[in-house]
Amino acid sequence: MIVYNVDRRFFPLKGEAIAYCVEHGHKRASIHKFAITNRDELAAFLDGLCEPAPDRPSPLPDVTVEREVPDCVPAFLRKSWGVE
């Protein structure tokens, strides 16, 4: 499954993401593609979009950020990665 993200919005088709960019004055480079190939990746993706419950740690591993993190990454993940 492939979905596209622009400005905290998800689109099933790339054409819809491009149309959104044009309508809102974004560059095409602001489109982020997410390819999910199995249930484990889907579960990890959905967990990443949710705030972790206070009684359990985040299900995501430690990440070393070596490039700019897109704005579509949730704030709690950016903070946990040391990216503000």
How many CA atoms does the CB half-sphere of 20 hold within 13 Å?
18
26: closest CA among 8, 45, 1, 13? 8
CB 63 within 8 A of CB 79: no
Q: In which residue are the tokens 């149309």 written? A: 19
57: closest CA among 80, 39, 25? 80
pTM listed for this prediction: 0.57
Averages of pLDDT over each 10 residues, the chain, 84 residues: 89 95 92 88 81 59 60 75 68
